Structure 1
Amino acid sequence: MRIDKYLWCVRYFKTRNIATTACKKGHIRVNDAIVKPSRDIYPMDKIVLRLNQVNYQLTVLDIPPSRVGAKLVDIYRIDTTPKSEFEAQELLKYSKDYYRQKGEGRPTKKDRREIDGYLESDDNKE
């Protein structure tokens, strides 16, 4: 089975097209080699998948006949992703420095309207 189809079947991607695009961008490795979407996979292959800033590590157990339900995914793969990958993502999510703080950087659309409104009101006073 193709790697893009496999990742779609075990529900890592919502569509095969998204899985294909991830392969083309180099986000998927099989046995430590960047692969094309058409690469065939076999049981006991090791897959590293970069998705949402997390490097998932999978081991293929079996090839599913088609897309499987969420409860049946564990029959076809073993997720060996270390917990540290998820902890790093949680730290980024709640970090104060991760998102732009209010008042820093470019003004938002609302800020722009307030600035324009303030400047127009000054012009009308003169």
Structure 2
Amino acid sequence: MPVDKEAQGADEGFLRLDKWLFFARFYKSRALATRACEAGDIRIGGAVVRKANHRLRIGDVLTFSQGPYVRVIKVHALPARRGPASEAQESYEDLNPISEQKPLPRNTRGDGPAREPGSGRPTKRERRKLDRFRGEW
């Protein structure tokens, strides 16, 4: 009878990083978790991880961004399946809860950080305001 090596990992004290992120409900699919790992968006103990098959162990601390927030998670358990949210929340401790965080600033288009008002090239809106102030419009 063939043995599933991935399922065997939880018994040995480790689980693939992408599976754990999916089981703990941080990503909607395992493919999204894999892409985040391969993009280098996840750190374990401060070190960037680029492999989805990284062995995650109990006690590891993960750092990654989720939307405009930075999540710092300590692993408490290695679940065997993707269960309900209440079960998933028991497998980790949130060291930096979202309720205590201020979202990262974004520009109006949502594709990067916001710039300080008055710095850099003026936007179209700012140019119109300047024209009105000068009486040129």
TM over 0.5: yes
Q: TM-score range by the shorter chain?
A: 0.5 to 0.7
| Alpha-carbon distance, 1:74 to partner | 2.4
Correspondent of 1:32 among 29, 46, 50: 46
The one-letter code sitting in structure 2 at the alignment partner of 1:23 is C
**Max Rg structure:** 1
CA distance in 2, matches of 1:15, 1:26: 17
Structure 1 unpaired stretches of 5+: 106-126
The question of whether the paired residues in 2 share the 8 Å contact of 1:44 and 1:60 is answered with yes
Higher helix share: 1
Counterpart for residue 56 of structure 1:
71
Tell me the matched-pair count.
Answer: 97
Q: Following superposition, which runs of at least 4 residues in structure 1 exceed 4 angstroms of deviation?
A: 82-85
Q: TM-score, normalised by structure 2?
A: 0.63
Counterpart for residue 42 of structure 1:
57
| Alpha-carbon distance, 1:60 to partner | 0.3
| Alpha-carbon distance, 1:82 to partner | 5.0
CA distance in 2, matches of 1:38, 1:84: 31
Q: Per the alignment, in what secondary structure is the counterpart of residue 28 of structure 2?
A: coil
The question of whether the paired residues in 1 share the 8 Å contact of 2:71 and 2:98 is answered with no
The one-letter code sitting in structure 1 at the alignment partner of 2:68 is Q
The question of whether the paired residues in 1 share the 8 Å contact of 2:24 and 2:91 is answered with yes
Correspondent of 1:99 among 101, 108, 126: 108
| Alpha-carbon distance, 1:88 to partner | 2.8
Per-residue CA distance 1:16-44 (angstroms, 9 max, x = gap): 00000001111101111111111011110
Per-residue CA distance 1:42-80 (angstroms, 9 max, x = gap): 110000012213210000001001112111122100011
The question of whether the paired residues in 1 share the 8 Å contact of 2:77 and 2:90 is answered with yes
